[in-house]
Amino acid sequence: MDLISKNTETASWTALYAGRFYDRIAGADLPGEPNILDDWDVISTRLDAALERTSTLAVLDLFSFPYEAMRGVRGDVPLVLVLPEGLDAEFLIDVFGAAAFERLSFFDRVATGNDALWEQLRRRYGWAAGQRIVIGGSHLEEVAEEVGGLLEAEAAPPDFSGEEEYKATSYWSERGDALANLSPHRAICSVRHDLRFNKAMHRVQAAALEPQFAVARGNRAESVPFTVLEVGAGIGRWAASFDLTKTRFCGVDISEGMVRAARANFPGGHFDPVGEDLILHYDDESFDLTYSVTVMHHNPTPSKRTLLSEMWRVTRPGGRLIFQEDFVTGKRLASSTVYPMSIMKFVDLLLEATSGQVVLEHVESLHYPHDDLVRGGLLSLSRLGVPKTW
């Protein structure tokens, strides 16, 4: 379902959960005409109707919201938690830690004007810098207006003019740079769709990827560093899947704007731009895990071959290579951003690029909730070979 235009039958909008403060918020003149919810709207029998076309839900009354109800497809609705004023981090963690804070994903955000409070919570829960909404108002009506205005500005899809023949490196570099400050989350899964659509994609991808990340780490001792490289890291969303105090996480991207955003989001990681030659400037056998998420299918076959060869080169023998892609077939149009390739042809290309020095460990299909057909797939492989150094 396309959740973009407010003028269509399947329109989406922002919802503000006002709870006990409904009377104060319902009469306010808020940007974007958000749907204002009270504590009756979120009881179980009415919640689905309240969230049916909601693209983002801002929670103004944290104390009465039923966080436990936000499971399954309900959990695909991105949340904005507006932190109450005058409460310290210890109290907020005691009250909302397990109930709310630990449930937040990369697509959920926290609104607060308190820098010190944000930093304490960010470090505790590993949140990205981009998950914060800075607010300046002190009255709830002012906060609702600020948050509503921001969400309204984000709701419109970016307007890219001058559609030309698709060239992977220039396309993603230019669009990544353009989106880095404007709306970086749109560059993650589907630039033309809202955060609910993209959060749903992320949920499906995470369910497949994170167990494979855990397998790649294995049972190594805490004192042994785990080294990870993501190719096509964007603004760094998958860095949140790793404990950066125990992981040397590196990411590369063709867009320098995305690299800057990733560095701001996850200061504990290391992010670098990659040139149009797609050569990874790391030593041979540098990483225990090398992976990419929805990157390969946006590149023509020669570029795929280069990336596969480079990713294999920098992975240690016994280490893992993981590819989560859309594997599709059919005729490609000149303006398409996807170069169709079946999973069998991708495996053939992978064997060619690595001289057959890989072993398939895991394969899994991914079905996104908005798709009728299964188009996603995950491959996890071990690199063969004898280490050059011990």
Domains and CATH numbers, the chain: 13-155 (3.40.50), 168-383 (3.40.50.150)
Residue 148 has a pLDDT of 87
Q: What is the pLDDT of residues 4-28, one digit of tens each?
A: 333 333 445 789 999 999 999 988 8
Q: Residue 77: how many CB atoms within 10 A of its CB?
A: 22
Q: Could you give the angle at the alpha carbon of 228 between the alpha carbons of 253 and 353, nearest 5°?
A: 70
Q: What is the pLDDT of residues 71-124, one digit of tens each?
A: 888 999 999 999 999 999 999 999 999 999 999 999 999 999 999 999 999 999
What are the structure tokens assigned to 34, written together? 């958000």
pLDDT confidence tier of residue 358, bands split at 50, 70 and 90: very high
Is residue 381 within 8 Å of 360, Cβ to Cβ? yes
- Over residues 125-131, mean pLDDT: 92
Is residue 49 within 8 Å of 3, Cβ to Cβ? no
Q: What is the pLDDT of residues 198-257, one digit of tens each?
A: 899 999 999 999 999 999 999 887 778 899 999 999 999 999 999 999 999 999 999 999
Q: What is the pLDDT of residues 25-84, one digit of tens each?
A: 988 888 878 899 999 999 988 999 999 889 899 999 999 999 999 988 899 999 999 999
Closest to 230 in 3D by CA, of 218, 247, 211, 207 = 247
Q: Provide the 8-state DSSP code for 301.
A: H
More confident residue, 209 or 190: 209
Local structure of 111: helix, strand or coil:
strand
Helix pair 301-314, 343-353: axis angle to 10 deg = 50
Query: Residue 322 forms beta bridges with which residues?
Result: 291, 380
Q: What is the pTM of this model?
A: 0.89
Is residue 181 within 8 Å of 348, Cβ to Cβ? no
Give the Cα separation of 361 and 181 in Å (integer). 39
What are the structure tokens assigned to 89, written together? 């981090």
Q: What is the pLDDT of residues 287-310, one digit of tens each?
A: 999 999 999 999 999 999 999 999
Residue 3 has a pLDDT of 31
Alpha carbon separation from 132 to 18, 116, 128, 215 (Å, rounded) = 20, 12, 8, 31
- Over residues 350-365, mean pLDDT: 96
pLDDT confidence tier of residue 370, bands split at 50, 70 and 90: confident
Torsion of CA 311, 312, 314, 320, to 10 degrees: 90
Residue 332: is its pLDDT beyond 80?
no
Give the Cα separation of 319 and 317 in Å (integer). 5
